[in-house]
Structure 1
Amino acid sequence: MTEPSRTLHARHRAVTPAWLATYYREPIELTHGEGRHVWDSEGRRYLDFFGGILTTMTAHALPEVTKAVAEQAGRILHTSTLYLSSSMVELAEQIAGLSGIPDAKVFFTTSGTEANDTALLLATAYRGSNQLLAMRNSYHGRSFSTVGITGNRAWSPTSLSPLQTLYVHGGVRGHGPFAHLSDAGFIAACTADLEDLLGQVGGRVAALIAEPIQGVGGFTSGPDGLFAAFKRVLDRHGILWISDEVQTGWGRTGDHFWGWQAHAEAGPPDVLTFAKGIGNGLSMGGVVARAEVMDCLDANSISTFGGSPVTTAGALANLRYLLDHDLQGNARRTGAVLAGRLRAAELPVVRELRGRGLMIGVELVDPATGEPSPEAATATLEHARERGLLIGKGGLLGNVLRVAPPLSLTEGEAVEGADLLIDALKEAVR
């Protein structure tokens, strides 16, 4: 790290919270990007396989998005929801249509945390209850209410909460008491556990909130159809299903546009939250819900920054590009290339390679003992950066690599990135 980078890091540490994490022993500043590549302040180029935590969804400096943002910024930057906005209405119309939720309405926020906050507000108001179901190993945001429903101790700094949260089995297929079962047996056991839990709860439960693929938890998931089985139980009790699509939405999984569609036989969720990729780096999130649920609040509300002219103009351009260029199909194709190459390497440090499309988790263990190895994950992160590849890290124990490139990734870049990651894994073991 050069002296300017060291100085910036020291300044950063002096004025930001001690709990505000940065990657790498010597943190880097990313100054610009193009396509699937970014550059740091020292001029080094990296192949970006994390996209600012799955947020740069299409590409860095996508001309269609930067043009839309610049043109809108030249007209007006801000109005608030107190005034009409054609770009906000058009984007809401498109998202409502794509959501699969009948009679859908959309509310825009500035982040996934705020989107999940809003979903919790709607569900608890609609059902008249503060009782929530959430998945073990889950993550839903950084606010007081979303920390209170997060089932991952590494990201939950307090047990205080305005909500009573009950945690359900099913978010992790490869670990836990049901891991030895077949997929059908796993679904049956988790559903029976849900039924048993609801039979012991006093009062009404408002909603189940669940990520179709758990992001911070290490790209884990239950088998396809799990949430369909859950929804049949929830429907009998009148409990809402909130699908947290902050990381799984917009075609990233390749097989489906939304993560919930892997469980579609029971129908769509009642509420869907989104963020990250839709803005391609712009600060945007939102909630889609059945009109009956969305309209249940009996007090005034607005958003100062949600659905702003600039973010909705950029998100519209981003969404058009994604649909016009079939980036969902590209995620399926290039994700298969990337995962196939990693799988073929047969590295003993890799316990499991999982995920879908361009959302790939690589769980690492100590080859000698088989025990989870956060040290191997940290070392691989460093060695990958040294080789010009940026990836992420997660999992309950911090031993999972998170690989999630922009959806415009080429097959050549998928091969290049896989080879760099394989080399970094081998170096980490050495």
Structure 2
Amino acid sequence: MSDLPVVVVGAGPVGLAAAAELVERGLTPLVLERGERAGAAVAQWHHVRLFSRWAELVAPAARRLLEPQGWQAPDAEGYPTGAEWARLYLRPLADALGDRVRFGSEVVGVARRGRDRVVDTGRESEPLTVHVRTADGREERITASAVIDASGTWTSPNPLGGDGLPAIGETAAADRIAYQVPDLTDATVAARYAGKHVVVAGSGHSALTALVAFAGLAEQQPSTRITWLLRRGAVGTVFGGGEADQLPARGALGLRAKAAVEAGHVRVVTGFRTDAVEPDGDRLVLRSSAGQRLEAADEVVVLAGFRPDLSWLSEVRLALDATLQAPVALAPLIDPNVHSCGTVYPHGAKELTHPESNVFLAGMKSYGRAPTFLAMTGYEQVRSIAAALAGDRESAERVELVLPETGVCGGSGVFDAPAEDQAGGCCGTPSGPEVLTLSAPSAR
């Protein structure tokens, strides 16, 4: 199978980094992207500024590919928006990869050639087949030596419903519910929310970003009211590690959101798990599973994280954690129920391997439903995967990354359990359930 390409699904930051790593290893990548340009998902949150610096957003192999072609790296200390990340880095990288990247090509299935997932006989001797639907509706089959799924989770946002499924009436109210951080710099978008009662649901960095933006709108339009809806019983460590965060912009985001709450721009409601969305004229009333009812809202913004779309991987054998839908060896490192500090040890091909040989989930999709993914993590993942595919076991097992700590210790996971009931541990000091043998223990 050595003459067959390695198919990479998704021309986002991690997918393109994977292609650069494969090229450097003398392998042939074929990146399939359903959008019309590189970074199609990133472009949808073009107005959001990242809390990682340019120095942490350019993959090492991508830099080595781009610089000989005259690419000028942006200021390493700058913090780009999504639009800048796509325009100044992702699109030039796709251009540098040339015909190794195909746009308008949606992967709709992956299988072992001539074998469904039940068949054992001859499985390991057959290549993979990637089923593709093109923008003009044509179907195509591509034979591949390996598949790296870096398609992300952007198209599968979590619903408002507190049990992981859409709340009753949520789908019917879709015209009043958004699942992305609104671009309030756009006058038309700002007009939709100005002077209204807006409910923001979620506790991650996207929710904090939205709260800061809406607080700014409330300063300009004092009749704008913001309610922040949390499922957990207390705010706890939602604001992050502040000045202790080793990514300063990430810590600053939490501090700005905290300041907005303390200034009275945001009303906080905790312990609210939405069960139903009920119409009230042109407005919406949210009802919790405990029977609580919120004051009617004009608009709802749901920023409750994302989940992987695994439907088109149904014919390959994946070993996924029952809780997170992440690779089983990775899950203990990132499970927010037991991982108390938000700092994840670097990992690579060993932790991302599945029973189906040469099939890997990488990037945000590898985290399943876990939050707080860094581009640096994905770049290290695909460096290790490319080394493994090239037969360089020593390099594949070597960890070449030190990740910044969040500064958050003893957090309450994703729910409202008291801190004393948590697994314990602190940033840089893993608790019992987090201890496992990594590829390179000496790098911990």
State the TM-score, normalizing by the size of structure 1.
0.31
* Richer in helix (by share): 1
Bigger relative contact order, structure 1 or 2, given CA contacts below 8 A and separation 6+? 1
State the TM-score, normalizing by the size of structure 2.
0.31
